[in-house]
A and B are shown apart, each in its own frame.
Chain A
Amino acid sequence: MSGLLTKEARLALSRKALLKHDRVRSSVVLLLPERVIKLNPAGAAILQLCDGARTLVKIIDELQTHYGDAAIETDVAAFLADAIARGWLEVR
């Protein structure tokens, strides 16, 4: 199911996951069977880039460009590793 998180790994939402903007509560949520995860803006920004096409390197690069912060690499990689362990993401 989940492979290794290498720099060239392509990341995608799990088949059973749905990422959406909840307009009633004005937040981004990740939906899984019998589970709703309210994401903070950073978590939402990261997961929105996990489209099955972008690699880990590309995701970090885009986030750095967008937020102008070079020091996010470790945090993003840790968030993604955790998201894979929780079954939110798949490595392709």
Chain B
Amino acid sequence: MTGSRVQPPYALLAELTHRCPLRCVYCSNPVELTRADSELSTADWSRVIAEAADLGVLQIHFSGGEPLLRDDLEQLINRAFRNGVYTNLITSGVGLDAARAESIARSGVNSVQLSVQAADPLLSNCIAGRNAFAAKQAAAQCLIAAGLPLSMNVVLHSLNIDQLESIVDTCVDWGADRIELANVQFYNWALLNRDLLLPTRDQLAKAESIYRSKKVELGNRVELIWIISDYHERYPKPCMGGWGRVQLTVSPDGKVMPCPVASTISTLSFESVKDRNLAWIWQRSPAFNQFRGFEWMPDPCRGCERRFEDFGGCRCQAFALTSSADRTDPACHLSPDHHLITGALKSVSTTETCEPLTDNEKIHAFQRMRYRQPP
């Protein structure tokens, strides 16, 4: 595929830092985190933002790690704002006081997404590996007081999915007008803890019915979004809307990738914004062109009618589970590697009980998990 036929991207995920006060057991950041002294400078990021706007990027998601740890966060949001780009801040809320919320609002941010781990402090703090629940509630108040629209995001897994109703109620209480219920996706830290985080079919079915009834109850007051658990589906997710089709990620040290997890594909090499401009990397770099279009696809994707909607699923998942990035996503029931998914599901269904776990049983599960560690 030649560069000129590549459609421009709509969105950029700017991972400003991998530093984070939380240690969540399902963190999607790499297992080998980027060190603070390798992070891009303010000048580098300003150039990347301008290049992204020129390339056709309409939205920039400022994320991390915890982007509040960058002193130049407001400056970078404002750079995007002045380039006419829609900006979204994705934060844990830890360290966000009234003054910072006001300064973020003044920078011209369009929306803020606050993460929450559970509906109560005990479970929330177990998941995040630190006491953060009260800080998050305070952050929500500061954001609302600063006049910012508040989205909230919760990652759902076997240990919090049974309290979905209270989680949604908590988000509504805190003032969210948009709530993303994201079933855990198994990459990086989450993959290391998969057997302890994977919900059973029964848990997922119950949660999905709660989501449906809450959606009706909330109507158009609050937007409720459900992100599927691909392990429980027959067909794979259309990951990132297709490799290098709608979105790109710049990592804290400047690597440009189709998604934040792509650095796990050790057989690809990604270009850096320090060496090339963003347009060249998007249009011409071998890593971006590797899985564009349909020519690269193996069977059964190659002749499948669904290839135009799911693009063969997720390349990172194929690599993580089969060591080959160009195989069909094992989440697809037609994949020759699908037993890798059904095997994982079988191992959790044998421990399935009708009763939700007690607090002590949950704490015991967390003692067996691997928490995110700094480099």
Contacts and interface: CB of A to CB of B under 8 A. Distances in A.
Q: Do A and B come from one complex?
A: yes
Interface of A: 1-2, 14-16, 18, 20, 22, 24-25, 29, 31-34, 36, 84-87
Contact of A24 (B11, B55, B220, B221): B55
B223 interface: yes
Interface in B2-35: 8, 10-11
A34 B110 CA distance: 11
A31 B110 contact: yes
9 shortest interchain CB distances as A-B pairs: A24-B56, A16-B149, A31-B86, A33-B111, A16-B111, A15-B149, A18-B86, A36-B10, A85-B220
A29 B58 contact: yes
A85 B149 CA distance: 17
Given A33-B88, A33-B113, 16 more contacts: A2-B220, A16-B149, A18-B86, A20-B58, A22-B58, A24-B56, A25-B8, A25-B56, A31-B59, A31-B86, A33-B110, A33-B149, A34-B61, A34-B88, A36-B58, A84-B220
Given A31-B59, A33-B151, A1 B221 contact: yes
Interface in B37-66: 55-56, 58-59, 61
A87 B223 contact: yes
A25 B59 CA distance: 14
Contacts of A2: 220
A20 B53 CA distance: 13
A32 B10 CA distance: 12
B327 interface: no
Contacts of A84: 220
Contacts of A1: 177, 220-221
B178 interface: yes
B286 interface: no
Contacts of A36: 10-11, 58-59
Contacts of B121: none
Contacts of B84: 20
Contacts of B56: 22, 24-25
Interface residues on B, range: 20 to 34
Nearest to A18: B86
| Interface class of chain A by DSSP | loop
17 contacts: A1-B221, A2-B220, A15-B149, A16-B177, A18-B86, A20-B86, A24-B8, A24-B55, A24-B56, A29-B58, A32-B111, A33-B111, A33-B149, A33-B178, A36-B11, A36-B58, A87-B223
Given A18-B110, A85-B220, A34 B59 contact: yes
Contacts of B58: 20, 22, 29, 31, 36
A80 to B, nearest CB: 14
A15 B58 CA distance: 17
A87 B224 CA distance: 12
Contacts of A16: 110-111, 149, 177-178
Interface in B112-131: 113
B8 A87 contact: no
Contacts of A31: 58-59, 86, 110
Contacts of B86: 18, 20, 31
A18 B84 CA distance: 9
A85 B58 CA distance: 24
A86 to B, nearest CB: 8
Nearest to B149: A16
Contacts of A14: 149
A21 to B, nearest CB: 9
Contacts of A25: 8, 56
